[in-house]
Structure 1
């Protein structure tokens, strides 16, 4: 009798190894599938470079010295011989012409009084002329008496006393003639004044005086004209404004908290004025008193006027004129070589500032001390060395020890 065969035990081993290998492969695939990939980041290098801190505000250009031309007397200013923008030269260019006002109309009472004054002046003049004729006759008689007495005195026929009396009489007659002539001149002037009071608008002699010409008090250009056409003016009325467009200043209103950080003589950059180049300016004056201004949001702010000298020559800023809007950045602090990082690399870590430093493909948190800051960079006073690489804009996926890879070009 043949005994039954037993199954071979070694046939299970290859099957177990196969299952084990398959399990390892599946586990490896799962680990590989769920293993976090390195985060692509932009890296920035810690460098030393110039830095300046600025405060920004809108400003307005102004001609430094403005000259207002006013009417020296009441009258009618004729149509302006110059236009806005015309160049003028001091003491040469006629900028305005004023014609004296014509006399007003007379009512019946005023005319009657003026006519009576003319009649009175005519009578006084006639009386003065009669007295002048009498004075001439008296002088002729005195001259004749003196000549006769002088001839007789030479012959010894009259006394010396009579000759002296004749001399005195002649002198008195001469003085009386001069007084009579002066009286005639006075009465003639009185008559002319009385007749002038009768003149009305449009009559001969009314408004016929030559125009008064006003010349430019300074060289420059016409900035404003009160009126181009002829019109009546009173003494002191402003006719036009003149100024030199080559001599501009800038007026800026800063918050008082920003103004206290601006040192005297601080440099400034003028932008958005219409040209492609940035203009140079310098702070000339910081007013000591602030004023209240309501912002666009309805908030009351304390602001301070700053006046800046525009340093860029006129030929480098063509077209820039009076009362043009500009954008000004005033430098409050600057240094030639400052250790700095991009402002976007900083984040708050508790109560301190920190950055992520790239080391061996991983992000390492590093606490730093920050000094001055601008819109683009921050000064590092401690915590980083020059040449280190930091993550420029760390996001929520970046943490201590995160695997990172630099973005192309980063």
Structure 2
């Protein structure tokens, strides 16, 4: 009886003094797809932009287009250019122009008088020629007199034609002198009448990205009026540290997040610029960066609302595997210059050396040392060592 009691007391003492198992978080090793990415921010850009410029100098009518309007190639009128408005005339210029008009009017009246005289001379010469022909037929006058009449009639007819052309010339001169008196009010009347010189239509179907100025104004030849682009044909510009850019393979796949939609978009690297540039970071550190250009592979309808100059978050895949054995990076620690983990074996922590390959976000590729289904301790603390009793922490 006494011996049994002593045995029970000893067992109870051992139980009390036996150390409690350390509660740990256990994670199973598993094989799954894995990607290694480099992340950066990017900006969307339209692949091609059509710029509409003025072909001639003139007065641009007020634009009816606004940013975001849709235009159709060859149909939508994007600009209307009228002749330039003539300048105001100062007192001297107006007086000179009015004097020139008076001079042209006097010259025109003189030309009318000369024409009337030429008409009279031509009529007289024709009448004299008719009489001399009749007399010559009867043999009353010599042939020389008839020839003189023919020559005088021809000369009178030529003088008449000259007078007519001279009259037309003076009429045109008067119109030219009167045009010197035109001022801005004349151009305003032409605009009100709807007269137009040039109507410019859209060179390409798409969306209006920018309008330089909505207001009517004088423009010079070659001045930019607006820009048109196809928002369905977008690409992404992003830049990476040069040390990261050299790791990006040609045609690398990329994932686009945080663009405003709920779904993830896909893209691929189309081009990497051969030259880098220096940029100062927010911490004041100079960085050598390289610009990358990516093409969307996601259909345009899946990225509705995305426009030019929108910010996106880009993850470029530099390595991937469809089946890679993985372990959380939080389970890894350094032991004698190598990587190791604590495996859970029959309630005890067993330190196990492992060989690590690629690392991606929170996971690391395991090349050797672990098998699928092995339980490892995530976040091993100072209380964990080889052979320590452990117990899985139960989530609340």
Q: TM-score, normalised by structure 1?
A: 0.79
Shift of residue 136 of structure 1? 6.5
Q: Which runs of 5+ in 1 are unaligned?
A: 1-13
Q: Does 1:361 align with 2:347?
A: yes
Relative to structure 1, the CA distance from residue 201 to residue 32 in structure 2 (aligned partners, 3 Å threshold; closer, same or farther) is same
CA deviations over 1:186-245 (Å, ceiling 9, x no partner): 4433332221111222248864471343322211122233344x3323224433332222
The answer to whether the aligner puts 1:247 opposite 2:233 as a matched pair is yes
Measured at CA, do residues 202 and 408 of structure 1 come closer, stay the same or move farther in structure 2, by a change above 3 Å?
Answer: same
Segment drifting more, 43-52 vs 242-251 = 43-52
Asked whether 1:210 is paired with 2:220, we answer no
Tell me if 1:231 matches 2:222. no
Q: Confirm or deny that 1:345 pairs with 2:331.
A: yes
Shift of 1:270: 0.9
Secondary structure of 1:288's counterpart equals: strand
Displacement after TM superposition at 1:291 (Å): 1.9
Cα drift, residue 66 of structure 1: 2.1
| 2:247 is aligned with 1:261 | yes
- Aligned equivalent of 1:393: 379
User: Could you tell me which residue of structure 1 aligns to residue 27 of structure 2?
Assistant: 44
Assess if the C-alpha contact under 8 Å between 1:74 and 1:232 holds in 2.
Answer: no
Whole-angstrom CA distance in 1 between matches of 2:150 and 2:163: 21
Residue 159 of structure 1: how far off its partner (Å): 8.5
Q: Distance in 1 between matches of 2:156 and 2:324?
A: 105
Residue 292 of structure 2: which of 285, 301, 306 is its match? 306
1:289 aligned to 2:275? Answer: yes
Q: How does 1:103-118 map to 2 (within 5 A)?
A: 103-118=86-101
> How far does the alpha carbon of each residue in 1:273-298 deviate from its partner, in whole angstroms, 9 at most, with x for none?
11111011122221122222222222
Matches of 2:11 and 2:52, distance apart in 1: 93
C-alpha distance 59-132 of structure 1, shift in aligned 2 (>3 A) = farther
Alpha-carbon distance in 1 for matches of 2:333, 2:248? 28
Report the CA distance shift for 1:174/1:250 in structure 2 as closer, same or farther (over 3 A). farther
Which aligned pairs between 1:127-138 and structure 2 lie closer than 5 A? none
Check whether the contact 1:94–1:215 (CA below 8 A) recurs between aligned residues. yes
Equivalent residues of 2:63, 2:216 under 8 A apart = no
- Whether contact under 8 Å (1:200, 1:206) holds in the other structure is no
Matches within 5 A, 1:77-226: 77-126=60-109, 183-203=166-186, 207-208=190-191, 210-211=195-196, 212-226=198-212
Instruction: Write the distance in 1 (CA, Å) between the matches of 2:17 and 2:63.
Output: 86
Secondary structure at the aligned position of 2:288 is classed as: strand
Conserved 8 A contact 2:258-2:313: yes
**Structure 1 residue 301 displacement after superposition:** 1.9
User: SS in structure 2 opposite 1:276?
Assistant: coil
Is contact 1:102–1:206 with CA below 8 Å preserved after alignment? no
CA distance in 2, matches of 1:225, 1:289: 33
Identify if the C-alpha distance between structure 1 residues 167 and 373 changes in structure 2 by more than 3 Å, giving closer, same or farther. Answer: farther
- Other structure's SS at 2:15 match: helix
By how many angstroms is 1:329 displaced? 0.8
TM-score (structure 2 length as normaliser): 0.81
Structure 1 counterpart of 2:265: 279
Q: Is the 8 A contact 1:266 1:282 kept in 2?
A: yes
Give 5+ residue unaligned stretches, structure 2: none
- Are 2:59 and 2:85, in contact at CA under 8 Å, matched by a contact in 1? no
Task: Calculate the aligned-residue CA RMSD, in Å.
Answer: 3.8
Q: Residues 183 and 50 from structure 1, CA distance in 2 versus in 1: closer, same or farther, beyond 3 angstroms?
A: farther
Q: Distance in 1 between matches of 2:75 and 2:12?
A: 96
Q: Which has the larger radius of gyration?
A: 1
- Residue 383 of structure 1: aligned partner: 369
Shift of 1:304: 1.9
Aligned mates of 1:226, 1:66 — CA distance in 2: 15
Confirm or deny: 8 A CA contact 1:63 1:245 kept in the other structure: yes
- 1:312-331 matched pairs, under 5 angstroms: 312-331=298-317
| Distance (Å, rounded) in 2 between the aligned partners of 1:254 and 1:284 | 15
